[in-house]
Structure 1
Amino acid sequence: MNMFRITAAMLALCMSLMSVPVSAGNGNVSGNPEYQVDAPPAYAMVADAVIARPLLIAGTIIGAGLFVVTLPFTALGGGVDRAGQALVVEPGKAAFVRCLGCTKDGYNNHDD
């Protein structure tokens, strides 16, 4: 088979597997609240990895640059903590401290 047919077959296989619903879901058979974690669907994971994460990383880099450029002015106004939080920390947390496809920050995404 040529490379185009192999690539098309692999793409069709991946797309068909992503359309299958996740059987694990949020079914908590044991009753233990530790196992009630957010289980995002495959399409959310793919969109997060391909679209959201690169944009959030770029936003973190741009925000850090803006923070450095505006640092003298924010220091005079006394808002360095708020500016750093809004421009660098929040986009960084959304980009790096979040499971793939999850909507909440952090590693312990429980349904509390």
Structure 2
Amino acid sequence: MSPLRSLALVLALTTGLSTLPAHGSHAEVEQSNVSGDPLYSVEAPPAYAMMGDLLIARPLLIAGTIIGAAAFVISLPFTALGGNVKEAGQALVVDPGREAFVRCLGCTTSGYRQD
């Protein structure tokens, strides 16, 4: 089997598995907080969510961060005139970068959760 077909098969399987409904409730996620800190909640994502995140979501988020940085640089003169450079940088670079590099593998939330 060629490497391209193998990659296509792996991507198809992980995409199919990631679309399955997650069985669990918010209460189960809250009970997995072993640290005892009410501000930090540990998620326990299943293996298929980790694989889908690793193979599909992370590369797309990294590409989105790079494209967002380029769009931010191109739009910088206009955002500077409009006075919203900070908001544009947050939306185009920081938010996708945080989701790509800070969020745990397969988790739906990133870092600390404020209640």
Q: TM-score, normalised by structure 2?
A: 0.65
Say whether the 8 Å CA contact 1:37–1:109 is kept in structure 2: no
Quick one: which of 60, 63, 80 aligns to 1:55?
Answer: 60
Q: May I ask how many residue pairs the two structures share in their alignment?
A: 88
Whole-angstrom distance in 1 between the partners of 2:66 and 2:36: 37
Amino acid paired to 1:39: A
2:78 corresponding residue in structure 1: 73
Whole-angstrom distance in 1 between the partners of 2:100 and 2:42: 19
Once the two structures are superposed, residues 35-88 of structure 1 have per-residue CA deviations (whole angstroms, 9 ceiling, x without a partner) of: 951110110000000000000000000000000000001000001000000000
Quick one: which of 85, 88, 92 aligns to 1:87?
Answer: 92
Sequence identity of aligned pairs in percent? 63
- Unaligned residue ranges in structure 2 (runs of 5+): 1-9, 11-27
Whole-angstrom distance in 2 between the partners of 1:89 and 1:81: 10
Whole-angstrom distance in 1 between the partners of 2:41 and 2:102: 19
Whole-angstrom distance in 2 between the partners of 1:98 and 1:78: 30
1:21 corresponding residue in structure 2: none
SS of the equivalent of 1:33 reads coil
Larger Rg belongs to: 1
CA RMSD of aligned residues (A): 3.0
Shift of 1:33: 2.5
Amino acid paired to 1:95: A
Q: TM-score, normalised by structure 1?
A: 0.67
| 1:3-22 alignment runs, 5 A limit | none
Relative to structure 1, is the Cα distance of residues 50 and 32 closer, same or farther in structure 2, using a 3 angstrom cutoff? closer
- Unaligned residue ranges in structure 1 (runs of 5+): 1-10, 12-24
